[in-house]
Amino acid sequence: MDLELSGRVAVVTGASKGIGLAVARTLADEGAYVVAASRTPVDAKATHVAVDLMDPQAPARVIARAVEEYGGVDILVNNAGGPPPGVTLPRVGFMTPGDADWQAMFEFNLFSAVRMIRAAVPVMIERGGGSIVNISSGSARQPGAMNVDYGAAKAALNHVGKAVSEEFGAQGIRVNTISPGPVLTHWWTKEGGAAEVIGGMAGASKEDIVARVAPDMMKLVTGRLVHPQEIADMVALLASPRSASTTGAEFAIDGGFLKEL
């Protein structure tokens, strides 16, 4: 199926690894011009913009680079998120994160996306519209004692996506949200990452956490963590003009993590 993405300009944040890298590669494979924003280089066919999205000025620089290189922006994928730089998750208990932790979590997972959208919307309007895809989390709708600050930031991102889709839909801008469950990325597998942290709590090896304990703990009906490419494929579809009537929607790609109707 032709997704009609050839020649379109896509900005992807957090594009150096995991979901973001899979998204950047997939959009490039579909013929899009990709501007990849990340702190480290990107192993994909893309124009790399080296930025730290904790810097409030960074989003405007990324969009300006896309305009300079390709004349505009048609697609924005707000993928950057998760633990802020230098932070290790999971954190257990509401009392664990302090004010600085909450502020950093919202800065990285909410405000960076807000600023990217703010910078991209006028450019998209000039081109007659565009597609924004926000990468949220199942934690936004599944509150619990683990990573409460992260879940709260993602819940706010869901709200922003709905609000922007409503305000700018008549001007051709679609905004949709993808809520992944646990995805098999570097965040889980790196040294000192989530698998090792949970393994220390559960008395299990990193490999066993990834293969069995985490899927069981999160009651994943598929019995495995989500693959980054599965998220990237949905991003490509939502970015495509073939999804022209899809806006303000949220899609759970989570192996059955969310149980609610």
The answer for residues whose C-beta is within 8 angstroms of residue 179's C-beta and 6 or more apart is 136, 137, 138, 140, 141, 154, 158, 250, 251, 252, 253, 254, 258
Closest CA to 176 of 252, 109, 101, 102: 252
Cα(216)–Cα(30) distance, integer angstroms: 35
DSSP state of 9: E
7 dihedral zone (left: phi>0; alpha: psi -120 to 50; beta) = left
Residue in the block written with tokens 């949709």 = 176
Write out the catalytic residue numbers: 150
Cα(222)–Cα(171) distance, integer angstroms: 39
Pairing of strands 47-50, 173-180: unpaired
Report which secondary-structure segment, H or E, holds 250: strand 250-253
| Start-end of H helices in the chain | 18-29, 58-70, 99-106, 112-126, 148-168, 186-189, 194-202, 206-208, 214-217, 228-239
Instruction: Give the other-Cβ count within 10 Å of 260's Cβ.
Output: 6
What are the φ/ψ torsions at residue 93 (nearest 5 degrees)? 100, 135
